[in-house]
Amino acid sequence: MGFVVSPNAKSWIRVDANSHFPIQNLPFGVADLGEDSQVLVTRIGDFAVDILGLIEGGVLAEYGFDEAEGFSEIGKMNFVELRRGLYDLLREGNPKLRDNSKLKKEVMLPAEELRMLLPMEVPSFVDFYSGIHHASNVGKMFRPDMPALLPNYRYLPVGYNGRASSVVPSEVPIIRPKGQTKAADADVPTFGPTQELDFELELGFFLIEGNEFGESIPVAQAENYIGGLVLVNDWSARDVQRWEYQPLGPFLAKSFATSVSPWLVTLDALEPFRIDGQKQDPEPLPHLRRPRLNHFDIVLEVSLQTEKMTAPQIISQTNSKELYWSFAQQLAHQTSNGTPTEPGDLYASGTISGPEEGMFGSMLELAWRGSKPIVMNETGEERRFIEDGDTVRLTGYCVGKGYRIGFGTLENQVMPSL
């Protein structure tokens, strides 16, 4: 069973109404404290709470946590119980931590001062293509004489296995990649830095448990394996991709960097924001049919800031409800052939675009292959793709009555090729 915090619950820690991290959230992350010291933390308001410090301080023993465990070693039920114990310590009226000034000083860390790492170590990475409006837009651009969606799109979650070694946290600089490109009027390709660097607005999920070799995960049970969701920016080199992707798909154009937000937001925290999602027509085959509400109403935004700007500019606003295939369906499809999975495996949703301009999840769409450049209001600069020095910032949140459940931000600055 999960653990959903009441929308009326309050903490003894002051939390702003617009904060992404009220007591109803309590996400998990990993903070780097220096000198090879990494600790599992939760987030409430402006503070990260050191969970190892709480365990060593003895205040989580009644929930079964009397010794430190690594994130990937915490099973699903212990994961739920850990969050329940954190809620109890932080809820309004509980003096156990509130009145322990020594322990409170040790474990309550200013979140903005921390260097956050990936929420989990990533043994494998899979990228899906489940944003139907993005897939349609790409089809219209590159296959104008054919249907926008290929015949398999509505029957299975299209995806590919990517590189786990280039998954990086927020605030890590993205080095402009090099690759082969071929101009339309050229006889041979050239090698050099991409001229069409792009972001991709995505959500991702981490596994907290895996399946055995040869076993499948039924769609009705898939969410039991998911630890939580994160923001994902799956960077792309569009000109490299255009030349290399046929006939086998993404390679160098996608493998150079995928960035992930630091806070793993649990499905329990997102429970009040479940929705049915888009109607799937035709109905999926039986092994992929949705047994329950397994999409979420998450507001998503992209901002861009050039080196000349003093503040970021929002360039896209959309919602996770625009995904055609749910996270449960994605995982069920991945394992339907018996593929084994592991704790820490990362799955990205694919670019999430809405049906209208201003709701697109990539520069490829927002500037429509460069034909409609985005104007930065503060400086008058134009952007067709991402340039060196630009910072891309993603954020996402659910809106409740008097509170938000959010992911914080994911931001990375682009640096010149080496």
CA 329, CA 199: separation in Å to the nearest integer?
25
> Cα(374)–Cα(309) distance, rounded to whole angstroms?
14
Report yes or no: 58 and 89 within 8 Å, Cβ to Cβ.
Answer: no
Q: Is 134 a catalytic residue?
A: yes
Pairwise CA distance, residues 320 & 278, whole Å: 11
DSSP string, 50-74: EHHHHHHTTTTGGGT--S---GGGS
Q: How far apart are CA 260 and CA 49, in angstroms?
A: 21
Q: Measured between alpha carbons, how far is 167 from 197 in angstroms, rounded to an integer?
A: 17
What six digits make up the tokens of 256? Answer: 């150079």
User: Which residue is catalytic, options 20, 134, 295, 333?
Assistant: 134
Count of Cβ atoms closer than 10 Å to residue 356 Cβ: 9
- 402: phi > 0 → left, psi -120 to 50 → alpha, else beta; which? left
Q: Which residues are catalytic?
A: 134
